[in-house]
Structure 1
């Protein structure tokens, strides 16, 4: 199996002005277009945590969107962590 087709889990912490501006909704829309499952969650410290599972290629595409500057609000930094998928996710939800 090629690396592009391997299932992965991306956890991304998005720093900046990303709460109360439609960022989670925008992220959900991009994730559904790409075809990854997961969630976008507001954190108490003002960051948004994005968890996505899918092929490496699809998750990298979502990460590119998060860093694109095209999202609502203002993204200052995106910290990423790659891991093995845990499964059990369906759809893409905002929390």
Structure 2
């Protein structure tokens, strides 16, 4: 999660949001590092989302209200991914 959070912080530092952060858009390199893919919904903060408007069940609120590129979209999705990983991989 730390590596993924770092990637998102870098993207946000450039003024962009991914806007469709879901497990299927994260690959893992041979070194175990996250590799973010599918930048079809990636846009500068405040821009109107055009073609990609998040993925149902991975966004906060309703998809029809998900219209503007925002850092909060990625931050919310990071929390969902962390929860998903915690429940998908119980400690032995």
Does TM, scored on the shorter chain, surpass 0.5? Answer: no
The higher relative CO (CA closer than 8 Å, separation ≥ 6) is in 1
Normalized per residue, the structure richer in helix is: 2
TM-score (norm 2): 0.33
Normalized per residue, the structure richer in strand is: 1
Q: Which has the larger radius of gyration?
A: 2
